[in-house]
Amino acid sequence: MPILEVEMVIGSGEVLTDGLAEGMADAAGDVFGAPAGRTWVRLHTLPASEYAENGGGPPEGIRPVFVTVLRASLPKEDALREETRRLTEAIATACGRPAENVHILWLPEATGRMAFGGRLMETTESR
């Protein structure tokens, strides 16, 4: 049931390619080993004019990608490190951005907090 919220900073006049969300979902599904239809991606854009870093950044041409991930349960620390590396590379490849510009936030486990169709996840389901 991994759900990814992806926000890409885009430059003036930049247009995302058709199928980008699907490509990210497929790439993330491969990382998670999820069956078809079980990894969801919601893709949003943020104009570069609405993104800033303190001290006058980001440097020219840098367009970050922010990924927030919700999962039923999280793997142990070593496995999470490896999954983070693989997911970062997969998202970077899918959107054509350098891996060092992809930033991932892992949300707390969804079990007991997330409902699908009115049904609360009460165990670490694979949904």
Mean pLDDT of the chain: 94
Looking at the chain, list the stretches that DSSP marks H as alpha helix, in order from N- to C-terminal side: 20-32, 77-95
What are 88's two structure tokens?
């970062």
Domains of the chain and any CATH numbers: 3-120 (3.30.429.10)
Q: Are strands 119-120 and 65-70 parallel, antiparallel or unpaired?
A: unpaired
Beta bridge partners, 53, equal 57
Q: What is the pTM of this model?
A: 0.92
Contacts (Cβ under 8 Å, ≥6 apart) of 96: none
- In percent, the amount of the chain with pLDDT more than 90 equals 87
pLDDT per residue as tens digits for the range 83-127 = 999 999 999 999 999 999 999 999 999 999 999 999 998 875 444
